[in-house]
Amino acid sequence: MSDLPVLRVDSWRGIPGLTHGFLGRHGGVSRGDFASLNLSQRTGDDPAAVVENRRRVEALLARGSRLVSMEQEHGDRVVVVQAPTDVVGRADAMVTATPGALLSVLTADCVPILLVAPARRIAAAVHAGWRGTLAGIVTRAVELLRRQWEIAPAELAAALGPAIGGCCYEVDREIGEQLVARCETLPAEAWSSHGAKGMLDLRSANRQLLLQAGIPAAAIHLVGPCTRCAMQNYFSHRGAGGSAGRQLSYIGWEIGVVSARKAC
């Protein structure tokens, strides 16, 4: 996807056959609050513009690859994708070992989390807002990988893309207290309370959940800025007052590449 602005994990570039990235808001045809690469049909944008935006993204995919989408609902359902043509339905995480199936996540402040087991050629994509974080959606994805493929957390690497930071995300104190109760320990940057409210850093909280699941700290990467601080490059639901497009993150395996390497 070299013709669209995209962020990647540098150390993942050498994993044979892996394709992944975090797109921003530039490179499409949508206008107004949705300018310009909005990839969600559930925002109120012109449907024809979203179709064209998706066409631009899919035109840059490896031959034979297709984006696989899910109806995100801020829950804890994880789905195994068997084919690039699968219709996933309601879910907030997908896992695949099928080349050509590029798992995609749409966000505008929530955390897009990409997981990869390079030596096993398995990938996952997770959507984690505050509700999904409290529900442990990323932990459930790691557990499914262990249960279905016997993948140990030490075999995994994770990337958490652009999302709203603790600098900008004020939520009710009750949410933060529930998160503290769920986590064994919680870094100071993940939650700080002030009266009935507090500041929540979704990426820091999900990083802690990944650590608790057993993924090595060196294999967890934070990619990109706070979406609200960088609204010139990323959609932010909070920053736009609720009317915003959605950027896309993706991960999967190209068809015909068979070698791999350990997590990094």
> Is residue 263 pLDDT above 70, yes or no?
no
List the Cα angle 190/10/6 in 5-degree steps.
80
Q: Which residue has the higher pLDDT, 45 or 1?
A: 45
Percent residues over pLDDT 90 in the chain: 92
**What is the average pLDDT score of the chain?**
96
Burial (CB count <10 Å: 0-12, 13-18, 19+), residue 61: middle
pLDDT one-digit tens code per residue, 212-257: 999 999 999 999 999 999 999 999 999 999 999 999 999 999 998 8
Q: Which residue has the higher pLDDT, 117 or 60?
A: 117
Closest C-alpha among 5, 21, 15 to residue 156: 15
What pTM value is reported for the model?
0.97
Q: Which tokens sit at 88?
A: 């996933």
Under 8 Å CB-to-CB from 147, ≥6 apart: which residues?
A: none
Q: Which tokens sit at 70?
A: 């899910």
Average pLDDT over residues 178-196: 92
Confidence of residue 62 (pLDDT cuts 50, 70, 90): confident
Burial (CB count <10 Å: 0-12, 13-18, 19+), residue 92: buried
Closest C-alpha among 212, 226, 98 to residue 158: 212
pLDDT one-digit tens code per residue, 95-147: 999 999 999 999 999 999 999 999 999 999 999 999 999 999 999 999 999 99
Q: Which tokens sit at 235?
A: 């959609």
Closest C-alpha among 6, 55, 2, 8 to residue 30: 55
Delineate the domains of the chain, giving CATH numbers in brackets.
6-164+206-253 (3.60.140.10)
CA dihedral sign of residues 59, 62, 65, 68: negative
Contact between residue 262 and residue 252 where contact means Cβ atoms under 8 Å apart: no
Confidence of residue 260 (pLDDT cuts 50, 70, 90): very low
Average pLDDT over residues 56-73: 94
Burial code (b: 16+ CB inside 10 Å, e: under 16) for 217-237 equals: eebbbbbbebbbbbbebbbbb
